[in-house]
Amino acid sequence: MTSLKNDTFIKALLKQPVARTPVWMMRQAGRYLPEYRKIREQAGSFMNLCTHPELAAEVTLQPLRRFDFDAAILFSDILTIPDAMGLGLHFTESEGPKFLHPVRSAADIDKLPIPDPEMELRYVIDAVRLIRTTLAGQVPLIGFSGSPWTLATYMVEGGSSKSFRQVKGLMYEQPKLMHGLLAKLAQSVALYLNAQIRAGAQAVMVFDTWGGMLNSEDYLEFSLSYARQVKDQLISAMNGQKIPSILFTKGGGQWLEAMADTGYEALGLDWQTDVGLARARVGAKVALQGNMDPIALYAPPHVIQEKVTAILDKYGTGSGHVFNLGHGILPDVDPEHVKVMVDAVHDYRHAR
């Protein structure tokens, strides 16, 4: 494979020196781009985009044609693993993702298969291969998965939730069952991410979107320990190149020390967490990714520039920072504002 023309993202994750802070954006391939909306309409459904590698690849590359991002991220859904386990993923207009067969009992958990990524998730792995080839070394490609806990929330609830009553009920009342489910998911996620790495992903990210809904004890026991099991099983290098991995727990700012002890090279920060304080707490161990409030992208350009500068000032000098939002970009942001953000990151120079 061709070598990377721009490796600042990988270097920053490994805390190696970089000439400027790299930047990419969660949900950078998405609805705020008119070219995305066009192809999404042609595809007929969101899952059609995900399951056709040429469409997933096209959508992945769209933002890179507009913006000087330092990384591409696979376009896919967070719920591909439960779908491959046979839960019957479908999307409703008003309520988002739903599963036909939620997981509630010992029997439900026992019969869950561990998907073979090259078989049941072949469409994802093929997309990774195609994107990596098409990128031709322009920037690195990030693979991703939901965390075991986050996948479990959707599988037990049968879809999205506000209160997480079902999944917390299982956790509180039948913790052994919950651990059984999470162990299967940790194994599945590791296999899935390793298949993405073998197919060309040069870094991977684990999205623990709902870890922040747990209390501190339960977070460590039911979310973080399985994110660590995933990390323990990940391929650490391919063809002599290290494959860094990023752990992002939305709402996890109180647990950064424990997160930094799991072996992940970098932690994603939500926008509520102060990046300067976070660096003081765990910056010796891990790189940090984040963390502008996505809502700031609605503001006029000079405000966006101020917010970018404030975050870069707070992180301070030295490598180990990847600029990003603190959560995904919202669907109706003006794409010109994204350019303002990217340019502000790249043009920034630390005061001496």
The answer to whether residue 238 forms part of the interface with a second copy (CB under 8 A) is no
Dihedrals φ, ψ of 111, to 5°? -85, 0
Judged by CB under 8 A, the residue of 64, 79, 189, 214 near a second copy is: 214
Residues 6+ apart with CB under 8 A from 87: 99, 100, 101, 102, 103, 155
Dihedrals φ, ψ of 44, to 5°? 90, -35
How far is 59 from 53, CA to CA, in rounded Å?
10
Neighbour tally for 108: CB within 10 Å: 16
Contacts to a second copy from residues 58-97, by CB under 8 A: none
Neighbour tally for 79: CB within 10 Å: 22
Neighbour tally for 163: CB within 10 Å: 9
27 is known as an active-site residue: yes
How far is 63 from 338, CA to CA, in rounded Å?
10
154 is known as an active-site residue: yes
Q: How many helices (H) and strands (E) does the chain have?
A: 16, 11
Given 27, 66, 122, 129, the catalytic residue: 27
- Nearest partner of 308 among 321, 320, 324, judged by Cα: 324
- With tokens 């988002």, the residue in question is 96
The answer to whether residue 31 forms part of the interface with a second copy (CB under 8 A) is no
Pick 34 or 300: Cβ nearer a second copy: 300
How many residues can be counted in the chain?
352
Interface pattern 280-299 for a second copy (x via CB under 8 A): -----------x-x-xx-xx
Query: Closest separation between CB of residue 132 and a second copy, Å?
Result: 34
Query: Closest separation between CB of residue 168 and a second copy, Å?
Result: 4
Distances (CA, A) of 285 to 188, 260, 294: 27, 6, 27
31 is known as an active-site residue: yes
From 15-23, 111-119, 302-310, 343-351, span contacting a second copy (CB under 8 A): 302-310
How far from the centroid of its chain's Cα atoms is residue 97's Cα? Answer: 18
Q: Are 308 and 348 in contact (CB under 8 A)?
A: yes
The answer to whether residue 216 forms part of the interface with a second copy (CB under 8 A) is yes
The answer to whether residue 164 forms part of the interface with a second copy (CB under 8 A) is yes
In one-letter notation, the amino acid at residue 4 is: L
Judged by CB under 8 A, the residue of 40, 307, 321, 337 near a second copy is: 307
Judged by CB under 8 A, the residue of 63, 158, 253, 283 near a second copy is: 253
The answer to whether residue 213 forms part of the interface with a second copy (CB under 8 A) is yes
Kind of pairing, strands 241-242 and 141-146?
unpaired
Neighbour tally for 244: CB within 10 Å: 27
Pick 150 or 188: Cβ nearer a second copy: 150
How far from the centroid of its chain's Cα atoms is residue 21's Cα? Answer: 19
Kind of pairing, strands 89-92 and 96-99?
antiparallel
The answer to whether residue 215 forms part of the interface with a second copy (CB under 8 A) is yes
Query: Closest separation between CB of residue 295 and a second copy, Å?
Result: 4
Given 32, 104, 132, 154, the catalytic residue: 154
Query: Closest separation between CB of residue 254 and a second copy, Å?
Result: 5
Query: Closest separation between CB of residue 312 and a second copy, Å?
Result: 14
From 20-28, 68-76, 270-278, 335-343, span contacting a second copy (CB under 8 A): 270-278
Given 20, 31, 129, 198, the catalytic residue: 31
Query: Closest separation between CB of residue 208 and a second copy, Å?
Result: 13
The answer to whether residue 271 forms part of the interface with a second copy (CB under 8 A) is yes
Residues forming the active site: 27, 31, 40, 77, 154
> Which positions lie near a second copy, rule CB under 8 A?
163-165, 168-169, 172-173, 212-217, 219, 251, 253-254, 271-274, 277, 291, 293, 295-296, 298-300, 303, 307, 310, 326, 330
